[in-house]
Amino acid sequence: MSAARSPGDTSPDGRAHLVVVGGGLAGMAAALVAADGGARVTMLEARPRLGGATTSFRRGELWIDTGQHVFMRCCTAYRGLLARLGVTHLTTLQPRLDVPVLLGDSLTRTRLRRTSVRLPAPLHLAPALLGYKALPLVERLRAGLAAFQLGRLDERSPQVDGRSFGGWLAEHGQGPAATSALWELLTVATLNAPADEASLGLAAKVVRTGLLEGADAGDLGWAEVPLSRLHGDAALAALTEVGADVRTGVKVRSITADGAGWQIAVTAGGTSRGESVPGADASGALYADAVVLATPAPAAAGLLPAGASVDADRLRALGDSPIINVHMIYPRQVIEGPFLAVVDSPIQWIFDRTISSGLAAAGPSGAQYLALSQSAAEPWITMPASDVAELFVTEMARLFPAARAARPLEVFVTRERTATFRQVPGSLALRPGASTGLPHFALAGTFTDTGWPATMESAVRSGVAAARESLAGMGVVVGDLTEPSTRRAAVVSGRVPAGRISAEPSGRAPAGPTPRVPAEAGQMTSAVPFEPRRADDQPSVRPEASNSSNSPDPRGANAVDAGSTVTASTTAAVAPVPTGQQGHSSTGGFPV
C-alpha cells in the first residue's frame, strides 16, 4: 500500500480522479456528469463495448438488440442522457399514449389510448379506460377506481412493498380477466414479474408515475437505430470529447482502500487477455480518488471493499429474473406499426425491427423482422431454442393470417438470463442506496434504491446519484445531464485534457471486417421453409465493439417511407394486422 495521498494526487493536473467500473447506462451517466463537473474520469468495462444490457451485436448483415427497450415521457433522467449524448433525434416519442392491443382469444383489436381532449391528471385516464374494449364496461369502471386507489398507496411503506400486486388486485375487485388484459399488460414488462409475484410498491410506482401524475407521462418513446448506436457509440464519443479515459475489455479483480484513495486491480480481457492494462502499475493496479461501482448486483457484491456498510449477501438475495426475445424474419409484412401488445396469448409484445436492424437495406425486399419480447420468462428460459421457436411460430400463425400464409425465413432466440433483479414483495429492503459508508465510494445500477423499477430510467438516476455521492467534498460540482452545448465552453477552453481511448471512437470504422457473431445463448436459425430443429444452448459469445454509428442509415435503399405499406412477395398476399400507428419507421423497444 502506498503512502497516504490527498484527493487529486492521482491526477497530473490536480483534479479529482474518478474511476467508474461498468459501462452500462448507470456508468455512462456517472462518468458524464462527473466529467462535466470537472473531474478526471476513467471508465473500465469488461465487455468489448459500452452499453451494458442495452446494446446490439452484429448477425450477418443485421444489428440485433440484446433486448427490446422503450421509455416513457416521465423518464426525465433517461431523456436527459439522450440529450446529453446528442441522440434524441434518433428516437421517437409519441404525441400521446397509444398502445394497440390484439386480444388473443377473440382475435379482435382494441387500444389503450390517451384522449386528445385536454383533461387534467388523473381525469385524463378515464376516456382511455372507457375505450379499452378488452374488458366489459363494468370491469373498466372497476379498473378506473382501482387505479386511483393504487395511486394513493405509499410505495415506500414496508407494508405496501411487502405485499404482492396480484393479491391487492384481487382484494379490489380485479379478476383474472382485468389482471391479464390490463394490469399485467402494464406491469409485467416494467417489473419483469407476473402480478402474483410482483411488489405492490413497485406496481404502485409504475401506475402513479406513468399514468396518474401527468396527463402525458405515459407517452411511449423508442429508438429508431440499433441500441449500440444510441447508447454505447454515442457515450464513447461524448466521453472522448470531455477527455475521459474509456477502457473496454478490462476486468476489475478487486478494489481496496489506498490511503486517501482507492486501488483497483485490473487485468485485460477479451482478445487481450493476460496483457497488462495501459496506465496500470507493475502490480496491475490503477489508482483513484473516488470510485463508482456500476456493475450488476452479483458482481458488485464480489467487489465491495472491506468495511462497506452494504451487505453483500443482501445484494445476492435480490436474485434475477430473465427475459427472452424471439426474433422472426418473415418474407412479407405481418403487422403494421412499430409495436403491438397481445393479451390472452403466450406472446406479450411484438416490435417491428425491419428498418432499425438494417433488414430494409439488406433485403430481401418486402421482408419484415419482428422481435417478440417476453418478460417474466421463467417458463421458456431453459427450454431448448427449437421448442421455443416452434411454440411462438405456431402462436404467430394462430394470431395473424399473414403469418399463416408465409412461414418465417429465419427464427432465432436470445436470452437475458439475468435481465433484472427479482422485483418481488420485500425487495425494497434489499436495495441499497448509493452510499456504501466508505469515503468517496458509491454504488450505481438499477438494483440500487432509486424509487424506480429496474428500468433505463432507474439506471441513469442511479449513476447521477452515485457520482454526487462519490465526489462529495472534492470540489466537483455534479449537475444534471444536459445538452452538450451547455458545457462546451469548458472543453473549448482546454480545461479538460484529451484522454486515451481503448475502443475505436464513434464514426471511425474498426480495422478489418465485422465478424459474424451468434446471438446470446439459445440462438437457433433455419432456412426456408421454417422447420424447427434441436439446437442446444451454447455459452454466450461477446461480439467486438459495434461501431454501429459508422453503419449506413438503417432505413436503407429498401426502406419504406412513413405511412406506406411494404410490398408483399409473389405468394398470395394476406393483409397485415393494422395497429393504427401511422407514420412510423421502426422501433426497438421493451416497455421500460
Among 78, 73, 101, smallest CA distance to 216 is for: 73
pLDDT number for residue 10: 56
Beta bridge partners of 335: 577
Grid coordinates representing 59? 448477425
Binned at pLDDT 50, 70 and 90, residue 125 comes out as: confident
Residues 6+ apart with CB under 8 A from 452: 205, 446, 458, 461
Grouping H, G, I as helix, E, B as strand and the rest as coil, residue 301 is helix
Are 466 and 29 a contacting pair, CB within 8 Å?
A: no
Grid coordinates representing 447? 438494483
CA gap 303, 20 in Å, rounded: 13
Grouping H, G, I as helix, E, B as strand and the rest as coil, residue 316 is helix
Q: What are the phi and psi torsion angles at 451 (to 5°)?
A: 85, -5
pLDDT number for residue 273: 52
Q: Cα angle vertex 51, ends 99, 449, to 5°?
A: 75
Binned at pLDDT 50, 70 and 90, residue 486 comes out as: low
Lowest mean pLDDT among 189-193, 235-239, 282-286, 342-346: 282-286
CA gap 365, 567 in Å, rounded: 8
CA gap 228, 51 in Å, rounded: 7
Among 3.30.2010, 3.90.660, 2.120.10, 2.30.30, name the CATH number for the domain at 56-73+97-113+321-420+517-592. Answer: 3.90.660
* Predicted confidence (pLDDT) at residue 460 exceeds the cutoff of 70: yes
Grouping H, G, I as helix, E, B as strand and the rest as coil, residue 425 is coil
For residue 537, which amino acid is it?
D
Grouping H, G, I as helix, E, B as strand and the rest as coil, residue 255 is strand
pLDDT number for residue 278: 72
Neighbouring CB atoms inside 10 A of 7's CB total 22
Among 115, 102, 93, smallest CA distance to 185 is for: 102
Grouping H, G, I as helix, E, B as strand and the rest as coil, residue 114 is coil
Strand ranges in 68-227 using DSSP code E only, listed in sequence order? 70-72, 91-93, 98-103, 108-113, 220-223
pLDDT tens for residues 374-430? 999 999 999 999 999 999 999 999 999 999 998 999 999 999 999 999 999 999 999
Are 176 and 143 a contacting pair, CB within 8 Å?
A: no
- Strand 98-103 and strand 108-113: the pairing is antiparallel
17-48+249-319+423-492 fold: FAD/NAD(P)-binding domain (3.50.50)
pLDDT tens for residues 304-329? 999 999 999 999 999 999 999 999 99
CA gap 83, 486 in Å, rounded: 11
Strand ranges in 405-449 using DSSP code E only, listed in sequence order? 410-420, 441-443
Helix (H) or strand (E) run with residue 148 in it: helix 137-151
> Residue 85 burial (CB < 10 Å; 0-12/13-18/19+)?
buried
Residues 6+ apart with CB under 8 A from 274: 267, 268
As a whole number, mean pLDDT of residues 251-275 equals 82
Binned at pLDDT 50, 70 and 90, residue 276 comes out as: low
* Predicted confidence (pLDDT) at residue 91 exceeds the cutoff of 60: yes
pTM: 0.83
* Predicted confidence (pLDDT) at residue 513 exceeds the cutoff of 70: no
pLDDT tens for residues 413-424? 999 999 999 999
pLDDT tens for residues 522-551? 333 333 334 433 333 333 323 333 444 443
Percent of the residues in the chain that have a pLDDT greater than 90, as a whole number: 71
Binned at pLDDT 50, 70 and 90, residue 492 comes out as: very low
DSSP H helices, 220-296, are: 227, 234-241
Beta bridge partners of 102: 109, 342
Full DSSP string of 524-583: ----SSP-----------PPPP--GGGSPPTT-TTPPPTT--PPP-SSPP-PPBP---TT
Are 459 and 25 a contacting pair, CB within 8 Å?
A: yes
